[in-house]
Structure 1
Amino acid sequence: MSESPAPYRVLARKYRPQTFGELIGQDAMVQTLGNAIRRGRLAHAFLMTGVRGVGKTSTARLIAKALNCIGLDGQGGPTIDPCGICEPCKAIAEGRHIDVVEMDAASHTGVDDVREIIEAVRYAAVSARYKIYIIDEVHMLSKNAFNALLKTLEEPPAHVKFLFATTEVNKVPVTVLSRCQRFDLRRIPADLLATHFQHVVDEEKVSAESEALALIARAAEGSARDGLSILDQAIAHAGTEEGGVTAVQVREMLGLSDRGAVRRLFALLLSGDAPAVLTALAEQHALGVEPAALFRGLLEAVHGVTRAKAGGAPDPAQSVEERAALEEWAGKLGHATLHRLWQLLLKGLGEVETTAMPMEAAEMALLRVVHAGTLPDPGELLRRLQSGEPMPAVDNAAPMASGAPTMAAKPVARVPETFPGLIEGIASRHAHLAQQLHDYASLVRYAPPELAIHPKRPIDGNIAKALGEVFPIDWQVALTDQPCEPTLREQELAAKAAAEREILDSPVVAAIRSAFPGAELIEDERSIA
């Protein structure tokens, strides 16, 4: 009689880390544990926290193996590299070691469950070096259970170690946290996940496109377990097709939009071609892409362009074509434009996710983005109002972008008459520099093209070059220690303090403070509709 085939093990269980070397993305924690073990500075309680699927419970089991491993010759001590062959290592890996007790706090929340542990810790380990208690989702314990555990947790017997895991560390009492050595496990970067998934498909003898694995890595949101579950589904979805796991199949399975399609839609939004935008949206909807997923893709595009403009490191999971497109847009779009696009798309996503008519809401939101390009920039309007310049006419037929978007049109090269006006004039193109000049620059002399300031703190960037990009004259900027005015921020704070003193000194408020000695003056920042 032939033996029945072994039951299938899902990838998330089959490829659970068995050594610290297989634990991806947590190098800092592994180094700390390794140093503690080598120096004999082992805490009596460890707390692993982080999002789902980053290896909290796996890490607890690895620590149990590291503390109880006896090596191939049976004489070994605690090590950061457990052999995985000795009986303690095998028993712990298989979940059958009598001295390593795992408890799910989600189903054992009461004080009686903790009392069993308190009673058992008094007895020495049966066969291991340490008796270890692994409590998963420890935040689910009741208040009384935590209180019952405190004394034992603070002064446990030398042969006992506690290993806690939780996804919601904020729900763990501070009294417990203070008694544990805490490790915050990081989300695993998408490029590391994609590399790990490539190793898995190689081991499984399954072919997979690198773009497909990158899509799965992004969808996993830093969780190895979630990613392996998606990969399992993708392999089943591909079936016996010769191409293996493809990016097209993964997008179809997850309801994702083709990133190339997102970039084309983003370009149409910038061009102001409303009919083409609606057509592209309908095409994606017909392919099964949810409107919310499309908006998330557009938001990712805006975020990618903004990071490229700010000089951020590119996402290693992006294709060469995607990086080139983002860098091209970063050269054309201003910060004000990108911030406005982000806010409009974010508002649109919220509407799409909460309405009963997501497709209609998506159309209206995208049309709002298109027509936002015909509106004058608020900063430009304010500048014109203050300077008395004529207001620009709004062209209802104008596109959002012609090479570069109308929203990011350069300010008129008329030099402001005041230093505050100068700062406001460069804010749309050099927001960071404008903020630094506002907060740290004390004015000594302002007589364009001359500008002399006393910086209270170092100011980044070439000030003269930045001013010249907005107001093209030959600026001469001097940094000096001469007597100067307070910075604009200091002036604002002084004005605010004076206003507060005036209010506090008024008879009515003085009477109120006399009647209520503890009363304080607070600023109400709520907007009035």
Structure 2
Amino acid sequence: MGYQVLARKWRPRSFSEMVGQGHVLKALVNALDNQRLHHAYLFTGTRGVGKTTIARIIAKCLNCETGITSTPCGSCSVCREVDEGRFVDLIEIDAASRTKVEDTRELLDNVQYAPSRGRFKVYLIDEVHMLSTHSFNALLKTLEEPPPYVKFILATTDPQKLPATILSRCLQFSLKNMTPERVVDHLAHVLGAESIPFEQDALWLLGRAADGSMRDAMSLTDQAIAFGEGRVLAADVRAMLGTLDHGQVFDVLQALLEGDAKALLAAIGHLAEQGPDWAGVLAEILNVLHRVAIAQALPDAVDNGHGDRERVLALAQALPAEDVQFYYQMGLIGRRDLPLAPEPRAGFEMVLLRMLAFRPAGDTAPPAQLKVSGISQATADSPKAVAPAAVSAQPQPQPQPAPVAQPRPHPEPKPAPQPMAVDDPSLPWNEPEVPVTAPAPAPEAVLDTRAEPPELLPMPVPTPASAVPPAPEVDAELDDNGGAPIEYQPAGMRDDEPPADDDYYPAEADPAGYGYLDDLASHAAEPEPAPEPKPAAQPATGLALQWLELYPKLPVSGLTGSIAANCSLVSVEGDTWLLHLDPDQGAFFNPTQQRRLNDALNQHLGRTLTVKIELVRPQQETPAQAAARRRIERQHDAEQAIASDPFIRQLVERFGATVRNDTIEPLDALANQGQ
């Protein structure tokens, strides 16, 4: 007999040999032991998680000569025939190659015949989602009420494509993906039984490459055995898969932790020798930082899915928590901007150098050295693992206690500034002038630039030019570390946008030199315009029409009035009113607005109501939509009146005049402006 691949040789032949899927096996075992057998089962899940294997085990359990049991004997003729794939009453159908309705009718014509060898005739339809709509319709009646000696087992990787009528006739079991830990344990068992030498790191590489599929893991192991000439070594598996050495990611983070730019560029150079995908390398660094953040919050929650749990825990102890969050955020932004770099490697280097440049203020002590404790025994015995051990054996100077890491100068998102009066004494420009020669703060009192706005000096009173000594031009202030200048911009302005026209004030427009503060305050006080309501699906009737008539009488205004204007009354049950609010207005809605609207209704109606508001687009017209519709109609009538005016028509016909509709406003709109 020729060589049999590991995936087929080690296919489970009983429920006890199954790896994982305990939630499915428990239900099947209890059903078989209690003789509570369903006529149709549906197994869903990704490739290689055991759908067909479980179906064949069920066929053995139903037809074993020892009786219906969850533990088939495995030695009778029926069990052997099922294992060898030649049991006549187990009909396996590939739905991907038999999609026509004629194939389904042929199958149904044979359902009426009793089984030849066993108790049940089992139909295993694999990739059932590939059947056509007519095939599903032809299968419905038989699938719902098959003969007592027929069992249907359906398997699919895409249950969303199955009709609801098929799903409702089956017991559905969803099989989960295999975790890397489970795959590594099973591969270690198989390779140990096969007497094949292996390294633990190599199994972790195979477990992650399998992506949740045990069959893919077994197939990759077969390939690794052939590639490594009978051995499964980490270096060979890494070369076969073309993956990144996970240890080099820790080398990059170690250099970043030590603040050593030379070591950082050297680690990047080692990465470049493998010709990696730099976006993938950055994603791997982000994955490690994510696991480090979990280790800092809850060390017991860190898994060993990458075989580096000890190294992650060591890095979590050596790296401050705020640095981890800052590096992660900067890595995300760098990954987004990486396609814009002239070269991928240059963009990757700039991301890491940017992380290195923005170190905490006053953090000058060398960080602790990471322990190389996450390497497997096989890797530790290799020549590559000897060098770190030799270095750590040398006497090291006692590390100085590192000062508390200060927050970074990068500001976190701040809430929108509230409008303030210009003569408010709490404003920075109304405080007494701070002397320029003020002493620098102590190291333990470094300013947190994220929480405080930049200090502004009071506006000086204009003096004659002859009395003012010449001063050097200063375009920006320096940060606390003496680094690059920080240019302050108005709130809401992006770096890549030019300033708007209304934010520019020429010198002659403000000769006093400080009147522009009033303009800025007025601009800040102006709220953003609310989005224009979309037209309703249908005109208001019933409760929605009553809400249109009730809304103008409610004592509400501001945001609460805007919320009420975009609502529609959909049901009234006793003293409970249900309103639907346009989701486009959801940013302005909160429990406070709901409470205010409820109080306004109680005040107007003189009784106690309970108002519930759901973010569902109203199907009938809301007060805001009605007002918008009326504005459009008035504007249309005004344009029609101008176009039909005899004098206007005469100007157009004789002199070729053009009417600009954007300058036409209805009379009621002009009257409102005059008020």
TM over 0.5: yes
Runs of 5+ unmatched residues, structure 2: 360-407, 418-448, 457-476, 485-588, 601-612, 634-675
Confirm whether residue 343 of structure 1 aligns to residue 462 of structure 2.
no
Question: Structure 1 residues 507, 104: CA separation in 2 closer, same or farther (over 3 Å shift)?
Answer: closer
Q: Is the 8 A contact 1:49 1:167 kept in 2?
A: yes
Q: Is the 8 A contact 1:504 1:510 kept in 2?
A: no
Secondary structure at the counterpart of residue 379 of structure 1: coil
1:299-448 matches, within 5 Å, as: 299-311=286-298, 313-317=301-305, 318-328=307-317, 331-333=320-322, 336-337=325-326, 340-341=329-330, 343-344=332-333, 347=336, 351=339, 358-359=344-345, 362-363=348-349, 366=352, 376-379=410-413, 388-390=453-455, 393-394=478-479
C-alpha distance in 2 between matches for 1:356 and 1:35: 62
* Deviation string, structure 1 residues 275-313 (Cα, Å, up to 9, x no partner): 654442331121354434423321320221232234262
* Deviation string, structure 1 residues 101-150 (Cα, Å, up to 9, x no partner): 11111111111111111111111111111101111111111111111111
Secondary structure at the counterpart of residue 163 of structure 1: strand
- 2:55 pairs with one of 49, 55, 60: 60
Q: How many residues are treated as equivalent by the alignment?
A: 409
Task: In structure 1, give the amino acid aligned to 2:336.
Answer: K
Runs of 5+ unmatched residues, structure 1: 1-5, 71-75, 399-487, 515-529
1:40-189 matches, within 5 Å, as: 40-70=35-65, 76-189=66-179
C-alpha distance in 1 between matches for 2:279 and 2:333: 14
Q: Is the 8 A contact 2:224 2:236 kept in 1?
A: yes
C-alpha distance in 1 between matches for 2:183 and 2:595: 52
Q: Is the 8 A contact 2:15 2:25 kept in 1?
A: yes
How many angstroms does 1:256 deviate by? 2.1
Secondary structure at the counterpart of residue 109 of structure 1: coil
Q: Is the 8 A contact 1:299 1:345 kept in 2?
A: no
How many angstroms does 1:368 deviate by? 6.0
Task: Give the match for residue 285 of structure 2.
Answer: 298
Question: Structure 1 residues 68, 301: CA separation in 2 closer, same or farther (over 3 Å shift)?
Answer: same
Secondary structure at the counterpart of residue 169 of structure 2: coil
Question: Structure 1 residues 382, 366: CA separation in 2 closer, same or farther (over 3 Å shift)?
Answer: farther
* Identity value in percent: 39
Task: Give the match for residue 453 of structure 1.
Answer: none
C-alpha distance in 2 between matches for 1:346 and 1:116: 55
Confirm whether residue 286 of structure 1 aligns to residue 273 of structure 2.
yes
TM score, norm. by length of structure 1? 0.68
Once the two structures are overlaid, the 10-residue window that deviates more, 322-331 or 157-166, is: 322-331
Secondary structure at the counterpart of residue 127 of structure 1: coil
Q: Is the 8 A contact 2:63 2:78 kept in 1?
A: yes
Task: Give the match for residue 22 of structure 2.
Answer: 27
C-alpha distance in 1 between matches for 2:253 and 2:150: 58
How many angstroms does 1:90 deviate by? 1.0
- Relative contact order higher in (CA < 8 Å, ≥ 6 apart): 1
Once the two structures are overlaid, the 10-residue window that deviates more, 255-264 or 112-121, is: 255-264
Confirm whether residue 248 of structure 1 aligns to residue 235 of structure 2.
yes
Question: Structure 1 residues 229, 365: CA separation in 2 closer, same or farther (over 3 Å shift)?
Answer: farther
Task: In structure 2, give the amino acid aligned to 1:390.
Answer: E
* Deviation string, structure 1 residues 318-342 (Cα, Å, up to 9, x no partner): 3353232343267533675365146
Question: Structure 1 residues 368, 102: CA separation in 2 closer, same or farther (over 3 Å shift)?
Answer: farther
Secondary structure at the counterpart of residue 256 of structure 1: coil
Task: Give the match for residue 491 of structure 1.
Answer: 592
Question: Structure 1 residues 80, 333: CA separation in 2 closer, same or farther (over 3 Å shift)?
Answer: farther
How many angstroms does 1:268 deviate by? 3.9
Task: In structure 2, give the amino acid aligned to 1:134.
Answer: L
Q: Is the 8 A contact 1:25 1:189 kept in 2?
A: no
Q: Is the 8 A contact 2:327 2:355 kept in 1?
A: no
Q: Is the 8 A contact 1:111 1:145 kept in 2?
A: yes
Task: Give the match for residue 437 of structure 1.
Answer: none
C-alpha distance in 1 between matches for 2:625 and 2:52: 62
* Deviation string, structure 1 residues 76-119 (Cα, Å, up to 9, x no partner): 22111111111111111111111101111111111111111111
Task: In structure 2, give the amino acid aligned to 1:325.
Answer: A
Q: Is the 8 A contact 1:295 1:348 kept in 2?
A: no
Task: Give the match for residue 509 of structure 1.
Answer: 628
Task: Give the match for residue 648 of structure 2.
Answer: none
Secondary structure at the counterpart of residue 88 of structure 2: coil
How many angstroms does 1:386 deviate by? 8.8
Task: Give the match for residue 249 of structure 2.
Answer: 262
C-alpha distance in 2 between matches for 1:8 and 1:251: 25
How many angstroms does 1:372 deviate by? 7.4
* Deviation string, structure 1 residues 185-243 (Cα, Å, up to 9, x no partner): 11112111111001111121111112221221122122111111111111112115xxx
Q: Is the 8 A contact 1:301 1:326 kept in 2?
A: no
Aligned Cα RMSD in Å? 3.6
Secondary structure at the counterpart of residue 134 of structure 1: strand
Task: Give the match for residue 519 of structure 1.
Answer: none
TM score, norm. by length of structure 2? 0.54
C-alpha distance in 2 between matches for 1:156 and 1:251: 52
